[in-house]
Amino acid sequence: MANQSTLTEFLLMGFSNEHDVQILHSVTFLFIYITAMVGNVLIITAVALDHHLHSPMFFFLVNLSVSDICYISTTVPKTIAISLTNNNVISFRGCVTQVFLVVTFVGAELALLTVMAYDRYVAICHPLQYRLIMNWDSCIQMAAASWISAMVHAILETTMTFRLSFCGSNIVGQFFCNIPQLQKISCSDTKINEILIIVLGFTVNSFCIPIILASYGYIFSVVKSIPSVQARHKALSTCTPHLTVFSLFIITALFSYLRPKSLSSPTVDLVSAVLYTVLPPVLNPIIYSFRNKDIQTAVWIIPQKFKSLIA
């Protein structure tokens, strides 16, 4: 990081310079953050305490909740602090760390959603072989591969971004350190970086998204052939939460990164960043809680479980 001697800090963009709006923003984001934390912690606790949920599907759901907690914690507390203190400075090292963590958790989210789609495919299309294919060793290996691949991707993106020179403006046009915004204020040629992002994004998406779509293609074809309406509904009910979460993640990410430049403006960029960094961690536990009766039951009996543990 040789260019750290040239520039030692960045300035993050706040949502407003008006005190009342800053207070409103901090209160709103604090509520959102608490909601996300409570929802994801409840899912993790429910799965940990209920032995009926000790299955591959809920194991991957716990990993997704851990990712969501870390994801929203990387950006939201900092922007709340900026609004409350009116100090929008982030150190060079802090910016590097934030970029690395954001890319890691975005990558982990997509990888875990891919593994979860494969899990549903095996469960519905090959139910008799499910325990053999989705054994605990395989589940741990797939979860580890998801996290490791996300971190490798993040290392590449972060290294390439901070090899750029920052010798002019240090104002990042976003409420967190965002790679496209950092490229805008760099005084280096960013063409190689832009190509790298496209290549890495295409590589990752061309692996994960086809697996998810193919999994659901097979799932729907099998479900259509099930004669019992009740059995069809039960099979689809296990897939609906995952499909909803995946759709939410992909739509917000595509809008943020692939929208045309004609739709780009500071306000739109800010709103799109909120969509893909804040919305999934908040809505994912809500979606799974509403659509999965096992999770609902496990959450309601958490107080009884704690009482029995204390006793």
Q: What's the whole-number mean pLDDT along residues 285-289? A: 84
Note if the pTM is more than 0.85: yes
Domains of the chain: 7-310 (1.20.1070.10)
Query: Would you state the pLDDT for residue 256?
Result: 67
Query: Would you state the pLDDT for residue 270?
Result: 77
Query: Would you state the pLDDT for residue 311?
Result: 59
* Rounded distance between C-alpha atoms, residue 43 and residue 7, angstroms: 42
Q: What's the whole-number mean pLDDT along residues 4-30? A: 80
Query: Would you state the pLDDT for residue 3?
Result: 44
